[in-house]
């Protein structure tokens, strides 16, 4: 347990510079580039003097750049991410909408893990046969089609034409309203998980200890379960862990298309309205969640795989 503790402490320490660096990067992207930040942030609002004054105050634009950043960082820690044009707090919007995004991301994650690993194992066991070629070709196509195209086609086919799922919105509740957007959200990662699982399992099945197990006359199912999967799923689990965070951030387009009232949909509409303060606030919050989930997965991974702790 002491080793796990030391690993956790080391990993936590590494997190600190990344946290400050990444939030600084977000802030830098917004303000340190050429151009008048006020003019940039108030596009479309006809530079209403009251709003300009609000921006000036919200982002402490009178202070030197580093002081601005520190004050902004202070805002993050005290939950102050700014306000919308109508005076609603961005932090409130985040708290209100995050559960929806989380539910969508977790549903997508289940599809990604179950279907990706399942089909990947199936394809590896039938290498060179029909199902293998079909899954390889299918995953290539999934990787090539932009996610928003996939979204519209799925919405049209399964929502409008076939009527299997609600076309948009979440009034049908979980799981019916979430299935379609979750599958589309998971599609790209699912293709990667499938290919990674197949490749990794094929490599493992070629190794000597599998041949030994076969020679001993163990049943194929036992060989797969006890020797094949255990050794080949490590890179897959690593990918899945890192992807959980990416799913939450990647929902912008999907939530926009399927009208799922999560963070992504708010971002989508705020971008279109030009509400820069909301956009930046929500992205900052998402990036922090992304970093935290990655940290958590890393810690969990250290518990699961002893080799990681000693690196």
**CA separation for the pair 93, 96 (Å, rounded):** 5
Could you say which DSSP state residue 89 is in? B
- Residue 44 or 175 having the CB closest to other proteins: 44
Q: How far is the CB of 237 from other proteins (least distance, A)?
A: 19
C-beta of residue 189 within 8 angstroms of C-beta of residue 243: yes
Phi/psi of residue 83, nearest 5 degrees: -130, 160
Q: How far apart (Å, rounded) are the C-alpha atoms in residues 202 and 194?
A: 12
- Nearest-angstrom CA–CA distance, 303 and 260: 35
Q: Are 262 and 97 in contact (CB under 8 A)?
A: yes
Binding site for other proteins (CB under 8 A): 14, 17-19, 21-22, 24-26, 29-31, 33, 35, 37, 39-41, 43, 140-141, 143-149, 152-153, 156, 160, 199, 202-203, 206, 246, 249-250, 252-253, 256, 267-268, 271-272, 274, 276, 279-280, 283, 286-287, 290-291, 294
In the complex, what is the shortest distance from the CB of residue 215 to other proteins, in angstroms, rounded to a whole number? 22
The SS3 assignment for 173 reads: coil
Measured from the CB of residue 43, what is the shortest distance to other proteins in angstroms? Answer: 6
Task: Give the nearer residue to other proteins in terms of CB position, either 183 or 293.
Answer: 293
The CB-of-59 to other proteins minimum distance in angstroms stands at: 10
Tokens read off for 251: 């929902």
Cβ distance to other proteins smaller for residue 28 or 174? 28
Residue closer to other proteins, measured from CB, 75 or 256: 256
């Amino acid at each position: 347990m002491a080793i796990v503790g030391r690993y956790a402490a080391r990993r936590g320490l590494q997190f600190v510079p990344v946290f400050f660096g990444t939030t600084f990067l977000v802030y830098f992207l917004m303000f340190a580039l050429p151009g008048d930040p006020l003019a940039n942030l108030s596009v479309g609002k006809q530079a209403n003097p009251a709003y300009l004054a609000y921006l000036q105050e919200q982002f402490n634009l009178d202070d030197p750049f580093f002081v601005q950043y520190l004050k902004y960082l202070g805002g993050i820690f005290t939950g102050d991410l700014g306000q919308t044009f109508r005076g609603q707090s961005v932090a409130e919007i985040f708290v209100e909408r995050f559960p929806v995004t989380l539910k969508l991301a977790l549903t997508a994650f289940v599809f990604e893990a179950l279907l990706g690993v399942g089909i990947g194992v199936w394809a590896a066991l039938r290498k060179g046969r029909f199902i293998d070629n079909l899954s390889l070709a299918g995953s290539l196509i999934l990787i090539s089609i932009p996610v928003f195209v996939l979204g519209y086609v799925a919405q049209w086919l399964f929502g409008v034409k076939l009527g299997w799922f609600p076309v948009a919105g979440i009034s049908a509740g979980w799981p019916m309203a979430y299935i379609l957007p979750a599958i589309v959200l998971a599609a790209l990662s699912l293709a990667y998980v499938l290919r990674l699982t197949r490749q990794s399992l094929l490599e493992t099945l070629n190794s000597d200890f599998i041949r030994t197990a076969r020679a001993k006359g163990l049943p194929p199912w036992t060989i797969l379960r006890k020797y094949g999967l255990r050794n080949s799923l490590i890179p897959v689990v690593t990918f899945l862990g890192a992807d959980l965070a990416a799913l939450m951030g990647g929902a912008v387009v999907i939530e926009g298309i399927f009208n799922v009232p999560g963070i992504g949909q708010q971002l989508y509409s705020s971008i279109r309205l030009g509400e820069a303060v909301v956009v930046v606030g929500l992205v900052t919050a998402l990036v922090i969640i992304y970093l935290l989930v990655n940290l958590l997965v890393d810690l969990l991974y250290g518990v699961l795989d002893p080799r990681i702790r000693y690196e």
